[in-house]
Amino acid sequence: MGILDAIHEVNEDAGIAYLREYYVTKKFTGSYFESLGARSGFDDSITGADLYALSTLDIKVPVRAGISILEEESTTFNGPLKAIPKELTIGSLSESEFEQHLGAESKALELWNRLRRNGLDEDKWGVGPTTASKIMARKRPHLIPIEDSIVNQVIELGRGDSWRLWWEAFQAEGDYLEERAKKLRAEIGRPELSTLRVFDVMLWMWGKANLPA
């Protein structure tokens, strides 16, 4: 099923229960992903706290990658990050704005490619799509969806472009996704959570409970 089918599959009561279990009981370290070590004034730079926060989602950034991101090549990563407006939300983008901010020539894709080391003359360093997406989602949570093996199975992502598929889902049903996320945030007392993160957690919890082991 696609993104919208997967979200509709989780009824309102189940969605609330999943979010409460994840964020309210504190049983999941991922409930600290957004807040751990976060400080104002660092929106446009990737910090050690950002990389450490990935450990709450069972991700360890390779040491060599971390040294480069934080020290040796920091401007290579912070430059394109700074060029991505902090206020952007994926659901509010028009088609042309999507191409500008998430398309083939965008600064977001430039940052993605640098994190992944997708250049022809670059050696891979253990930062795959999941790790790269979580670094970027920590810095731009309203714009960049997290890629996770469980959620990818739930939404049947395959080799699809998650940025475009999430954008298309927001376009398809008007304000439905925003309104449902707003209710879920209110139920768990976490108004700061992005809509993308709300559904990432909800679908991850559903997948953990329902996908074959």
- How far apart CA 18 and CA 188 sit, in angstroms, is 10
Residue type, 39: R
User: What own/partner pairs with CB < 8 Å and gap ≥ 24 does 69-78 have?
Assistant: 69/115, 69/135, 70/46, 74/45, 74/46, 76/114, 77/46, 77/111, 77/114, 77/115, 78/44, 78/45, 78/46
**pLDDT the model gives residue 174:** 84
Break the chain into its structural domains and give their ranges.
3-210
Each residue's pLDDT tens digit, 33-72? 999 999 989 999 999 999 999 999 999 999 999 999 999 9
Per-residue pLDDT, averaged over 110-118, amounts to 96
Each residue's pLDDT tens digit, 11-32? 999 999 999 999 999 899 999 9
Residue 35 CB coordination number (10 Å): 11
Which H/E stretch holds residue 85? Answer: none
Backbone angles phi, psi at 146, to 5 degrees: -75, 140
**pLDDT the model gives residue 159:** 82
- How far apart CA 165 and CA 75 sit, in angstroms, is 30
CB burial of 173-182 (b: ≥16 within 10 Å; e: otherwise) equals eeeebeebbe
pTM for the model stands at 0.95
**pLDDT the model gives residue 80:** 98
High-pLDDT (> 90) share of the chain, % = 91
Query: Six-digit token pair at 146?
Result: 């997290």
Lowest model confidence (mean pLDDT) among 80-94, 117-131, 190-204 = 117-131
Q: How confident is the model at residue 173 (pLDDT cuts 50, 70, 90)?
A: confident
**pLDDT the model gives residue 119:** 84
